[in-house]
Amino acid sequence: IAGITQAPTSQILAAGRRMTLRCTQDMRHNAMYWYRQDLGLGLRLIHYSNTAGTTGKGEVPDGYSVSRANTDDFPLTLASAVPSQTSVYFCASSDSWTANQPQHFGDGTRLSIL
């Protein structure tokens, strides 16, 4: 079934550790996104990529980095995890970055930083 795959599904991580959340899509979508969802705050954009080879900062980029080496993969890295990064992380994609394009989401990664 076509879609977006995120890994891991959940993770408990010690503060200070490095962690990479994986995201792969097989829909050949050009644009990809990473969000975090926190209670009372809704989903907030961390980073995005309009097309392979390009990335941009969203609303809450600090402490996170991304890369987009190819169309399918968009990993999110926490270089040195902190407890405030405990959240549910969703990867999404859309056919293009232009307006009117809805985004399709992966199942999410639940991350707890202790």
Partner 1 sequence: RKEVEQDPGPFNVPEGATVAFNCTYSNSASQSFFWYRQDCRKEPKLLMSVYSSGNEDGRFTAQLNRASQYISLLIRDSKLSDSATYLCVVNILVTGANNLFFGTGTRLTVIP
User: Does residue 58 bind partner 1 (CB under 8 A)?
Assistant: yes
- 75 prior amide bond cis, ω within 30: no
For every residue of 74-96, DSSP letters joined together read --EEESS--GGG-EEEEEEEES-
**Binding to partner 1 in span 80-99, by CB under 8 A:** 90, 94, 96-99
User: Does residue 31 bind partner 1 (CB under 8 A)?
Assistant: yes
CB 48 within 8 A of CB 55: yes
User: Does residue 48 bind partner 1 (CB under 8 A)?
Assistant: yes
Give the binding site for partner 1 (CB under 8 A): 31, 33, 35, 40-45, 48, 50, 56, 58-59, 90, 94, 96-108
